[in-house]
Structures are given as C-alpha cells and as structure tokens.
Amino acid sequence: MPTPQQGPIGRRVARNVAELRAARGLTLREMSAKMGELGRPTLPSGIMKIEDGTRRVDVDDLVALALALDVSPNRLLLPESAGTDQGVDLTPEVTIPTEDAAWRWAVGEYYPFPLDAPTPASEVVKFMAANRPHAGADLNILEQQIAKHLASLKPVARAARAAEEAGVPFRVIVDYMRLTDALDTLEGQ
C-alpha cells in the first residue's frame, strides 16, 4: 500500500521499477546485488518496499535503480509509452495533458507551461537552451536560424501538423526527419 506522502511520480516510479525488474527477469536478490555493486546497497526487502510503494525513493536511489535496470531516470519517472492522449500527473495539482508532451518536457524539447495557453517561441527556446546543455550553443541561436529560414520551414511545419492529424505520433515525425537520409536509402533498395 503506498505511503500517504507519496505523490503521483513516486507511485509511478514504484510501478515502473517493479515492471522493469520483472521484464528483465531479475529476482529481488539479484536487483539488490546490482544496487550494492552501484554503491547504493539495498536489501531485497527494500526493493520490495520500493515496488509496493511503502518506501520512498530519493534521487540517489532513483539514479542507482535506473542504472541497475539499464534505463534513464526519466524512464522510471514517466509512463512507458509516449504518444497517447492520457494525461501525466506530475504533482497532485499539475497534469501534462499527454504522455508525448510529458516525455518531450522531460527531455528538454518542449515547454508546456502554462498549460492553458500557448507558450511563446522565445520561452520554448530559452527552456531548450537551459535544459539541453549537451546540444551546445546552437540552441542559443535557434530563434535567429528559424527566422532566417522561416519560408522554407513553414511547409515542413504544415506537413508535420497534417501527419499528426492523420494519427502519426510527433516522435515518429521527428525521428523520421532525423533518419530521412537513411530511410531514403532503404526505400531505394
């Protein structure tokens, strides 16, 4: 039974740890051993309590659990899938409307706040620059580059919106754009 203090993310982490451990065929004892090897010793009973929600997970536990399960911390924090229309509770008072938006927010691609109004592009670019430092300084000039190439980009945006309306998940559109050269090569074979 979940602890009363545990919020929606804590409950989700508990479910995800249990599901991922089972999917990998790890026993509680094996998971405990992996946690020990990572410098975060946790008894099998502690793993069981994490999974049933009676033990809270701090950030150090979260990272060790993610390493032990070969996933990113985000995979433990968010639902398994993205692209559905189900909302994702972040706190008892904040729900991101879709799983896709929650994942895009978590990886620093998207700024959905405030939820009831469109976010100006300049705020999205600032969010991306602050949350994707691995992308380098390019994000700092993204707004200028978009403005410079706006005429060429507008048809791409219209096509992406049309694909979304036809049911293609946003992440598939983005991945297709990233893989276009490889996919074009495959089509020619």
Q: What CATH number is attached to the domain comprising 70? A: 1.10.260.40
Same domain, yes or no, for 173 and 145?
yes
| Helix/strand/coil for 29 | helix
Query: Given 25, 44, 77, which residue is the final one in a domain?
Result: 77
Q: Which amino acid is at 81?
A: S
Task: With respect to residue 32, please indicate whether it lies within any of the assigned structural domains.
Answer: yes
Strand partners, 95: 89
For the segment 32-41, the average pLDDT, to the nearest whole number, is: 97
Task: With respect to residue 125, please indicate whether it lies within any of the assigned structural domains.
Answer: yes
Task: With respect to residue 2, please indicate whether it lies within any of the assigned structural domains.
Answer: no
Q: Quote the pLDDT of residue 172.
A: 84
Token pair listed for 120: 């100006």
C-beta of residue 51 within 8 angstroms of C-beta of residue 68:
no
Same domain, yes or no, for 107 and 183?
yes
Q: How far apart are CA 37 and CA 55, in angstroms?
A: 21
Query: Given 77, 97, 116, which residue is the final one in a domain?
Result: 77
Domain range spanning residue 44?
8-77
For the segment 20-37, the average pLDDT, to the nearest whole number, is: 98
CA 86 to chain centre: 14
- 30 confidence band (pLDDT: 50, 70, 90): very high
Does the pLDDT of residue 117 top 60, yes or no? Answer: yes
Task: Give which of 51, 47, 69 is closest to 14, Cα–Cα.
Answer: 51
Quote the number of domains for the chain: 2
